[in-house]
């Protein structure tokens, strides 16, 4: 860069008192260079910023262009103070100045250079204090932390002066001396004559990024000696001076597409390291600086795949001290769902480019061995056979139909259909399960079950892949068994209405498999997922999900599906549907409220001890 001067800190702070004489030095600002031979020129923007919106022309402060010494050019009297205090809401008035930096002498009124630092001046509404009233801390350091940043790979130079110009000017009778306590071999030097601190060599962030020193100040006043120590911190700023590299030399990964063919699937990941830091903020600009591009002429490949880049900070320890670096991950991702018939293999190359690194090794090539395998839509080598009790009610769940590997599929949408072969006996239907993986068989017409003429029913099931229209068929036998039970009078439609064990098992209801509801006995401890309840089938209700068959009719399993009020101690299920947990027994009136309550008071109201007492 042509213009590389910079400030080693973002902010400076000093106090200004009333009626301090013109010529009082306030503080010293330093600049560091980018290359040898650069000379710093300091310039003050002639705008004092008082509060956010208010500003005032600067009549009081000036900076020496060559040395960076900020001084009072005119004393501030009470009137000036009052004027500058307006708009300041804080008890302490602060004004703000911008100091600009350039490698050439400033033209008049130049006020927009990118390199600037901020000086805060606290206006103390009193005359300068007597030196004897200042504490050692106040005599030695300002309130601002001694914290600096130095860019790596830049020439050495002085970046701070420990002595406070204002105090030195005010308290000439006091002896104030400084020392910089640093471990052996640290690249910093303290000059006792100027109290300047300089960096003695080019720094390398990848070697060490933080130096912690201690600035020690001794104040002597007659026989009294006081010492103050404060931390003196130097952070090394990073620039892109390291190329990307591969951990263990791994640049190849296998990417297999088989059952999971859904858009967004991550097929394989390769990792690239870089000793430089990469800010995750702003994210998009960092992504642009470190690119990963698929190298291909094949439009099908560039449409079907994409590369996702994520990165995170990791730590390296080059010589015992930890420094931050970056781990870049390049993920090969399906850009669209792939058809089950697709079959190919090829190598896909991704070029990773560290665009800000200036060197020959700025890029690495990653290789993905991609295999896309076709999958077949077929049923297992058998016919399905389910036995259905003649007393089963509508919405009783009979079983699941699934093509081979159906549970492994993602991004493949299978439709299941029943092709009836015997029109008069047609008791069951099929419904699509979630994500198009399986089909659920259920009783659709319970009157057919009661028909003595229907015994064995044969269906053909067809499974079809939506995208490719590939399909498979198999046979389904439904065998009806059991003798018809006499229907109880006064039984409700829904098992969930029953509140007691006995009445539950006496009745049937929508969704029952054998004509009778089932009782689930809970653990009875507080509000639990294992609450007591009456259900058509313990296997499916309540199981925490409102499945496709249960959602056909609210009377089947309100325990999983209700969206109404639940009265009593309870926890609601996912999406506010159903009773996830309840207290005691939970029962429901479909399309109305559910109730969870503890009604089995088994303890005696008065036990033997109690009776004796009475």
Partner 1 sequence: DEILRSLAGPPSLPGQDPHGWRVPVDCVRANELCAAEPSCSSRYRQCLAGRDRNTMLANKECQAALEVLQESPLYDCRCKRGMKKELQCLQIYWSIHLGLTEGEEFYEASPYEPVTSRLSDIFRLASIFSGMDPATNSKSNHCLDAAKACNLNDNCKRLRSGYISTCSREISATEHCTCSYEDKEKPNCLDLRNACRTDHLCRSRLADFHTNCQASFQSLTSCPGDNYQACLGSYAGLIGFDMTPNYVDASPTSITISPWCSCKGSGNLEEECEKFLRDFTENPCLRNAIQAFGNGTDVNLSPKNPSPPITLPPKTEKSPALPDDINDSNTMYDTSVITTCTSVQEHGSKLNKSKEQSLCYSETQLTTDIMPDQKTFV
Residues of this chain that bind partner 1 (CB under 8 A): 10-11, 45, 47, 49, 51-55, 86-87, 89-92, 111-112, 135-137, 141, 143, 145, 147, 149, 224, 226-231, 235, 237-238, 277-283, 312-313, 324, 572-576
Question: Residue 190 or residue 311: which is nearer to partner 1 going by CB?
Answer: 311
Smaller CB distance to partner 1: residue 147 or 363? Answer: 147
- CA–CA dist 320, 149 (Å, integer): 21
CA dist 553 → 375, 427, 556, 590, 591 (Å)? 36, 17, 6, 9, 10
As measured in angstroms, the least distance from the Cβ of 457 to partner 1 is 37
Least Å distance, CB 408 to partner 1, is 20
Query: Smallest distance from the beta carbon of 209 to partner 1, in angstroms?
Result: 9
In the complex with partner 1, which residue's Cβ is closer, 237 or 301?
237
Could you tell me which residues come within 8 angstroms of residue 241 by beta carbon, excluding any fewer than 6 positions away?
A: 152, 153, 206, 276, 357
The residue (of 228 and 491) whose beta carbon lies closer to partner 1 is: 228
Cα 99 to Cα 46: distance, rounded to the nearest angstrom: 10
Task: Report the distance separating Cα 55 and Cα 118, nearest Å.
Answer: 15
For partner 1, the closer CB: 498 or 545: 545
- Residue placing its CB nearer to partner 1 in the complex, 96 or 301: 96
Question: What is the SS3 assignment for 293-354?
Answer: EEECCCHHHHHHEEEEEEEEEEEEEEECEEEEEEEEEEEEEECCCCCCCCCEEEEEEEEEEE
Judged by CB, which is closer to partner 1: 195, or 278? 278
- CB of 212 vs partner 1, minimal distance in Å: 13
Across 402-470, the runs of DSSP E, i.e. the strands, are 414-420, 428-432, 439-443, 456-465
In whole angstroms, give the CA distance from residue 63 to residue 99.
8
Please report how close the Cβ of residue 116 comes to partner 1 at its closest, in angstroms: 10
Structure tokens at 411: 């991004």
Q: How far is the CB of 311 from partner 1 (least distance, A)?
A: 8
| CA pair distance 336, 257, nearest whole angstrom | 12
Rounded to a whole number of angstroms, the minimum distance from the CB of residue 572 to partner 1 is 7
State in angstroms the smallest separation of the CB of 89 from partner 1. Answer: 6
Q: How far is the CB of 53 from partner 1 (least distance, A)?
A: 6
From first CA to last CA, the distance across the chain in angstroms is 98
Residue 572 CA to residue 562 CA, distance in Å, equals: 10
Distances (CA, A) of 17 to 46, 62, 87, 166, 604: 20, 16, 19, 11, 84
d(C-alpha 388, C-alpha 477), whole Å: 10
Do β-strands 116-127 and 11-18 pair in parallel, antiparallel, or remain unpaired?
parallel
Which are the contacts of 421, defined by CB distance < 8 A and separation ≥ 6? 458, 459, 460
Cβ proximity to partner 1: between 19 and 229 the closer is 229
Q: Report the nearest approach of partner 1 to the CB of residue 511 (Å).
A: 24
285 vs 347 by CB, closer to partner 1: 285
Going by C-alpha positions, the residue among 474, 513, 485 that lies closest to residue 387 is 513
**Torsion region of 226: left, alpha or beta (phi above 0 gives left; psi -120 to 50 gives alpha):** beta
Residue 147 or residue 468: which is nearer to partner 1 going by CB? 147
CA–CA distance from 96 to each of 9, 116, 384 (Å)? 15, 12, 83
């Amino acid at each position: 860069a042509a213009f590389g001067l910079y400030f080693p800190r973002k902010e400076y702070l000093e106090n200004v008192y009333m009626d301090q004489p013109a010529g009082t030095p306030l503080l010293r600002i330093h600049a560091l260079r980018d290359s040898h031979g650069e000379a710093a020129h300091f310039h003050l923007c002639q705008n004092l910023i008082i509060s956010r919106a208010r500003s005032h022309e600067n009549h009081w402060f000036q900076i020496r262009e060559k040395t960076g010494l900020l001084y009072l050019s005119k004393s501030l009297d009470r009137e000036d103070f009052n004027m500058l205090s307006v708009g300041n809401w804080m008890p302490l008035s602060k004004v703000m100045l911008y100091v600009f930096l350039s490698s050439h002498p400033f033209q008049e009124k130049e006020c927009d250079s990118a390199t600037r630092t901020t000086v805060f001046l606290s206006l103390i509404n009193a005359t300068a204090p007597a030196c004897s009233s200042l504490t050692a801390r106040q005599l030695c350091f300002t309130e601002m932390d001694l914290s600096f940043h130095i860019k790596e790979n830049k020439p050495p130079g002085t970046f701070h002066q420990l002595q406070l110009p204002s105090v030195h000017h005010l308290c000439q009778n006091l002896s104030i001396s400084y020392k910089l306590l640093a471990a052996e071999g640290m690249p910093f030097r303290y000059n006792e004559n100027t109290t300047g601190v300089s960096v003695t060599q080019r720094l390398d962030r990848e070697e060490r990024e933080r130096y912690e020193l201690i600035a020690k100040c001794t104040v002597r006043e007659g026989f009294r000696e006081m010492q103050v120590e404060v931390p003196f911190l130097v952070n090394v700023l990073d620039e892109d001076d390291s190329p990307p590299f591969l951990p263990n030399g791994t640049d190849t990964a296998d990417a297999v597409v088989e059952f999971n063919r859904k858009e967004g699937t991550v097929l394989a990941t390769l990792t690239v390291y870089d000793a430089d830091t990469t800010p995750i903020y702003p994210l998009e600009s960092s992504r642009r600086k470190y690119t990963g591009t698929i190298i291909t002429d094949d439009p099908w490949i560039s449409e079907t795949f994409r590369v996702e880049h994520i990165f995170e900070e990791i730590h390296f320890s080059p010589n015992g001290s930890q420094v931050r670096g970056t781990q870049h991950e390049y993920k090969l991702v399906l850009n669209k769902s792939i058809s089950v018939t697709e079959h190919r293999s090829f190598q896909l190359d991704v070029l990773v480019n560290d665009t800000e690194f200036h060197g020959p090794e700025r890029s690495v090539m990653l290789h993905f061995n991609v295999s896309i395998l076709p999958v077949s839509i077929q049923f297992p080598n058998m016919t399905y056979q389910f036995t259905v009790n003649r007393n089963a009610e509508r919405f009783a769940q009979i079983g699941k139909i699934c093509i081979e590997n159906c549970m492994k599929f993602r991004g493949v949408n299978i439709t299941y259909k029943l092709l009836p072969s015997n029109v008069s006996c047609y008791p069951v239907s099929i419904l699509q399960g979630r994500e198009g993986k399986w089909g659920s068989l259920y009783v659709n017409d319970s009157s057919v079950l009661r028909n003595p003429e229907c015994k064995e029913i044969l269906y053909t099931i067809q499974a079809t892949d939506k995208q490719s229209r590939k399909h498979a068929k198999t046979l389904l036998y439904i065998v009806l068994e059991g003798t018809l039970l006499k229907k109880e009078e006064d039984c409700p439609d829904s098992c969930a209405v029953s509140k007691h064990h006995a009445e539950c098992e006496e009745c049937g209801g929508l969704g029952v498999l054998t004509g009778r509801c089932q009782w689930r006995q809970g653990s009875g401890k507080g509000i639990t997922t294992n609450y007591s309840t009456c259900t058509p089938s313990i296997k499916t209700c309540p199981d925490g999900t409102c499945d496709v068959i249960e959602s056909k009719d609210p009377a089947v399993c309100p325990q999983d599906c209700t969206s109404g009020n639940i009265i009593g101690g309870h926890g609601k299920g996912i999406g506010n549907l159903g009773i996830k947990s309840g207290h005691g027994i939970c029962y429901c009136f479909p399309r109305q409220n559910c109730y969870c309550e503890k009604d089995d008071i088994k303890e005696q109201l008065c036990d033997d001890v109690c009776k004796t007492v009475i």
